[in-house]
Structure 1
Amino acid sequence: MVLKGRIKFIANMIPECTILSDIGTDHAYIPIYSVKNQICKKAIACDIGEGPVAVANRNIKRHGMEDRVVTRIGSGFKPISEEELDVCVIAGMGGILITEILQEDINKAKKANKLILQPMNCIELVREWLYLNGFEITDEGLINEGFRIYNVIVAQWTGKIAKKELVYYYIGEKLIEKKDPLLKKYINRRIDLMDRVLKQMSAMKDQDSSLISDQRNIRNEISALLERINK
């Protein structure tokens, strides 16, 4: 199986493990790829919908992986037993939904050896949730696919609660530490997006001056961070 773009990038950030659980698997591409490439010994492909699970089962059969990749229907961590918790992928969902899944079964999230998270939006909410609930972000990466740049986070529970400067919820510290090649491009896009949002907010008749001020402060902090990186 050949993966491309965002999906391949996510798979390549998965550490070697015994059991990989893919929550919201859709087509089961990541579980199949991970088993075939000896990233994991066994994989569990979970999804809340019968349709995606049926598609996953067809793909698993086509690749002859029935004995090593299993599918389960259920929400979040619920289809996964505590004994099976090893590396868990939650990708391709909104950031708010990802935090809800983590919060709903936080004890299982804590017991996972690694969480691989790829939110489609609201990355700042995911980072904040992780830090405030005792998770450490051990790695991050950026991948450009089409017109978008996506964040992938690797995290694990340590029990150490951290409160970061606001700017580091928006721009991951690991991205800065490793000097991710897409970091400057990503920051510039975030600034451009915030400028457009601020312009729209300022043009509204019923303005929330406090919210506009908060957004402008965050935008300026991100801009200042970019200046420090460029030095």
Structure 2
Amino acid sequence: MINLSKRLSMVASLLERGNVICDVGCDHAYLPIYLIDSGVFDKALALDINEGPLDKARDNIIKYNMESEIETRLSDGVRNLRTKETDALTICGMGGNVMIHIFEEGRDIIRDINQVIIQPQSEYMKLYDFLIRNGYSIDDEVATIDLDKFYFAWKIRYIGRNPQLLNAKLINLGFYYSEVLSEKRDEIYRKYLVSYYNSIEKAIETMKVNSPHNKRINILIKEMETIDKMLNQYYN
């Protein structure tokens, strides 16, 4: 069986048994190969916007004798995915802005998919706000550390109107604010908060020396206060 990175193992942990999985931004196709090999899914669609990653994916699909189970497609997001062609979707390793583009372009297709797991690399709060405002519920979240980097994955579901809009003050936070992981008392998320707190504390010290009137100092201080409240509320 193929060995997944901690990041992709985190994504796999959120998936339930299904028939077809579609992996957008498939890169080497490690995730769909693993999911089929482990019996979580029977078939897979591996999509990528570039031919290079698809060539690598095809090489691995042949290596693991899965030509009849996994189909590769050149596709910008889910543009070349047909309605109700898959019952699960993973979008991993992309920035939040790219994911927003994918959801905007493929809204009609994605809304009908039963399981949607995303793993953004950046712009967490902007993406989170976009999803909530466009009728998605974030049902679960998990976190991991892979090669000294923090990663988060969300299990989301389209529910139509979602009354739980984000507080406007949270949207522009520089760090990932997660009530779900906080309520779980997730230890990796605690480490993430402490790490971010320490990094902005150092940034403030540097700014006070080099640019004492920088308006960003007050913004960062407020972020530190938010993190401090979270740590005291959930982890003490």
CA RMSD, aligned part only?
2.2
1:71-110 correspondence runs (5 A): 71-110=72-111
Superposed CA offset, 1:49-103 (max 9, x none): 1111111011001111111110000100112111214211111111221122112
How many residues are paired up? Answer: 229
1:183: how far off? 2.1
Match for 2:194: what amino acid? N
Question: So what's the TM-score if we normalise by structure 2?
Answer: 0.88
How far apart in 2 are the matches of 1:167 and 1:228? 17
DSSP-derived class of the 2:3 partner: coil
Determine if the alignment matches structure 1 residue 148 to structure 2 residue 149: yes
How far apart in 1 are the matches of 2:190 and 2:220? 20
The change in CA–CA distance for 1:95 and 1:206 in structure 2 (over 3 A counts) is farther
* Conservation of the 8 A alpha-carbon contact between 1:167 and 1:218: no
How far apart in 1 are the matches of 2:211 and 2:45? 48
How far apart in 2 are the matches of 1:139 and 1:32? 24
**Which residue does 1:185 correspond to in 2?**
191
1:40-119 correspondence runs (5 A): 40-119=41-120
Question: So what's the TM-score if we normalise by structure 1?
Answer: 0.90
DSSP-derived class of the 1:17 partner: coil
* Conservation of the 8 A alpha-carbon contact between 1:167 and 1:222: no
How far apart in 1 are the matches of 2:70 and 2:148? 32
DSSP-derived class of the 1:192 partner: helix
How far apart in 1 are the matches of 2:198 and 2:145? 17
How far apart in 1 are the matches of 2:25 and 2:68? 20
Identity rate, percent:
27
* Conservation of the 8 A alpha-carbon contact between 2:92 and 2:119: yes
| 4+ residue runs over 6 A deviation | none
1:3-42 correspondence runs (5 A): 3-42=4-43
**Which residue does 2:230 correspond to in 1?**
225
Out of 187-196 and 48-57, give the one that drifted further: 187-196
The change in CA–CA distance for 1:24 and 1:213 in structure 2 (over 3 A counts) is same
1:186-205 correspondence runs (5 A): 186-198=192-204, 203-204=210-211
The change in CA–CA distance for 1:93 and 1:80 in structure 2 (over 3 A counts) is same
DSSP-derived class of the 1:59 partner: helix
Superposed CA offset, 1:3-22 (max 9, x none): 23212221222221111110
How far apart in 1 are the matches of 2:82 and 2:211? 49
How far apart in 1 are the matches of 2:125 and 2:199? 14
